[in-house]
Amino acid sequence: MAKETLSQVQIIQSLGKRLSDFEEELSWGAPAAELRHLTGRIGELYAAMITRGQMAIEANQRGYDVISAENERISVKTCTTHRPNPQLKKSTLNQVDRVIVLKIHHGEEGVSIEEILDEPIDIALKQFRENTTAFVYSGATQKSALDLSRLRIVEEAEFKGKILRRYENGSFQVIKKNGIVASVTKDELRKMAKSLGITPNDNPTTRQWGRLILEHLKGC
């Protein structure tokens, strides 16, 4: 059955809903590897959004998933930490003009999408290794972490000798009494929250913990 054409607003709204569903499933303990029905659709919607395109007309379209505003047939591959090496089937490569590889991160900062690869098919294949039936992605799947020292500090508070900082990109950092930056920010924030008597009902992300603590300290 053919899919309906969606406006860009509908695509963005649907992407937001799928991301919320994915985050909720993770909070319930579902392994990311078992949420392929969500990660695949998230990737398609994201690709349709950034290319101002549409999902392929057929529900099980061979070879490609999205048609861009420039009428490129795009194969969208979405991976997670547990599924890092997506494949392109040899039998359908003649149906593909462009390849987009995305990675869904689900860590301390919540759920986010990273663009790993976005190239025409002939260039994209240089980052795939060939086997009998397919090309398997073998390129880098994670960029190096951003150096927060280059960013502006927008908010800061002190609690029991520790400094909590929020940077302009929304990231949080905890500096201990000895001046060492905490390696696992979320763990330090949980300890601070416990000392402050903050007990949220859900399972906050690192950024949510940080905002809760800063708001509490400001109100003291």
Q: What would be the CATH architecture of the domain defined by 148-219?
A: Beta Barrel (2.40)
Q: Which backbone phi and psi does 86 adopt, to 5 degrees?
A: -65, 160
How far apart are the C-alpha atoms of 130 and 96, rounded to whole Å?
Answer: 17
- The DSSP letter of residue 148 is G
What pTM value is reported for the model? 0.66
Q: Which amino acid is at 91?
A: S
pLDDT, tens digit, for every residue of 84-111?
678 899 998 999 999 999 988 876 667 8
Domain regions of the chain by residue span:
8-137, 148-219
Q: 140-151 pLDDT, tens per residue?
A: 544 445 577 788
One fold for 8-137 and 148-219: no
Q: How far is CA 112 from the centre of its chain?
A: 2
- pLDDT recorded at residue 17: 93
Residue 34 has pLDDT above 60, yes or no: yes
Q: Give the C-alpha separation, 9 to 157, whole Å.
A: 39
Residue 117 tokens read as: 């690869």
CATH fold of 8-137 reads: Trna Endonuclease; Chain: A, domain 1 (3.40.1350)
